[in-house]
Chain A
């Protein structure tokens, strides 16, 4: 079975599709005439938002000014870009599925650790409220009922819960499983790439299927999405995709799965020696073999056998080129080891191999920025922007380079573009605030800084800027409060770093 997007598994019952991006499921379901079904969607991320189909150009389709006015005030959100290239949004396919009445009820099932954590659960709730506020489409105000979140999109009843809260559903459902559901934490939140090897899934696929059976959930159609290219699923979990397909079709799990699971468990317990031996003792094919080689490469790296490690990693990437991702390439290891020049070379090599991808160029640009080679770094970011005009991160970094050079207007231009593509990055708010402060727009600056704080960005720079705003506005006491907070956070960071460096010799 291949993990080629859109290619379905052998036609056993029930039908299973293995894809990378959720969007691909829409066409497959449409072709099969799905209508008024119940959808059960397993996913770690609250990326409900979708890119609206409504574009400003549609205003010119109007024949009267009244019609133009109606279009402008319509509650549906706007989009100025047809698709954000580097992000996958569940909403991209869900909004269509809802509007075309393919689904009449939708359960979004989040991982248990996420649901049990008050902080993460609140994030989901906040996300629902944000969606309601920005009015991307017809949606009911979210509410909490019986321990689950409820709302509706285009009249489709929506329930957010963990598997535990799921009711018994009599009829067969559309099952959509994102592999990142199995990850205990988002890959972007791992402090070091090497921790990926030691971060076990919170639930294993066979255990998940057992729970599904216990709940009596049966599928008429199953779709499994890797979400590897979008950067949500750790590459090490990609083999769960094939595994889930096998389970969905009632087949026994491949031997290679059990080997990899065993090895992963040993790794998490720090048994690296045993793991190396176990890795040598089995060979498989396809994604399982690529995963084996990837694990081996990473262990060789830990043993400082660098050349061998690189070679083995390349073998894994030859079997499955998706192993060359921003979250799994060897440049990350070099960065973690502080070997930035080698990281840069690795990014350059990846850039030549993957010319359509932005992340290798971003890696190069970050290296150049670190060396304060601003002109060259800016040129790299511009290369990314030429390829992906709405690349939020490239715009933000370019904006910050301009900010550092006191080109405030240019900086603001790029930061606003970054904001339009991704409003969830607090650093963009900070950059805009600094520009507004320079322009004398103090209220605007304060608004941006408050937003950054609301997002949890309690950093020294946030308070320093807020203090500067208050100072310019003549509010001395507030400015002093913010300066004090800035110093307090600096002190916390300093003491933490000292403790990390000096260990038990350090005490304050």
Chain B
């Protein structure tokens, strides 16, 4: 994954923020996901407009963490979302 890549949430995933955390339902797979606050923030950013580097930048400001930490968290989480087919790479 490159930092310039842009990811987008799958359109058919239903989700809602409940008590600051995203709850997702992948109806096609019959799976329910619940994210923590950092993951929720990343999830919100993945709307097909922000590049991975923008998401990392946003995390460093929002959670006051180091760039390395934000980068590590964002990359591993987006990778995981991608392997679960919850997000797709958006066309640039």
Contacts and interface: CB of A to CB of B under 8 A. Distances in A.
Interface of A: 55-57, 59-60, 62-65, 68, 72, 78, 80, 420
Given A55-B27, A57-B27, A72-B32, 10 more contacts: A56-B26, A59-B32, A60-B14, A62-B23, A63-B18, A65-B19, A65-B23, A68-B18, A78-B30, A80-B30
Contacts of A59: 23, 25, 32
Contacts of A55: 27
Given A65-B34, A72-B32, A420-B30, A57 B25 contact: yes
Nearest to A72: B32
A291 B11 CA distance: 51
A68 B23 CA distance: 8
B21 A65 contact: yes
Interface of B: 14-16, 18-19, 21, 23, 25-32, 34
A60 B15 contact: yes
Contacts, number: 39
Contacts of A57: 14, 25, 27
Contact of A60 (B16, B19, B30): B16
A323 to B, nearest CB: 36
8 nearest A-B residue pairs (beta carbon): A80-B30, A60-B16, A56-B25, A65-B19, A56-B32, A57-B25, A59-B32, A68-B23
B32 to A, nearest CB: 5
* Most B Cβ at <10 Å: residue of A56, A63, A420: A56
23 contacts: A56-B26, A56-B30, A56-B31, A57-B25, A57-B27, A59-B23, A59-B25, A60-B14, A60-B16, A60-B23, A64-B18, A64-B19, A65-B19, A65-B21, A65-B23, A65-B34, A68-B23, A68-B34, A72-B32, A78-B30, A80-B29, A80-B30, A420-B30
B contact patch SS:
strand
B15 to A, nearest CB: 7
A62 B18 contact: yes
Contacts of A68: 18, 23, 32, 34
Contacts of B23: 59-60, 62, 65, 68
A65 B15 CA distance: 13
A420 B28 CA distance: 11
Nearest to B26: A56
B18 to A, nearest CB: 6
Nearest to B29: A80
A68 B28 CA distance: 19
Nearest to A420: B30
A60 B13 CA distance: 12
Contacts of A63: 18
B2 to A, nearest CB: 23
A56 B27 contact: yes
A56 B29 CA distance: 10
Contacts of B14: 57, 60
Contacts of B26: 56
Contacts of B18: 62-65, 68
Contacts of A72: 32
A56 B11 CA distance: 17
A56 B14 CA distance: 10
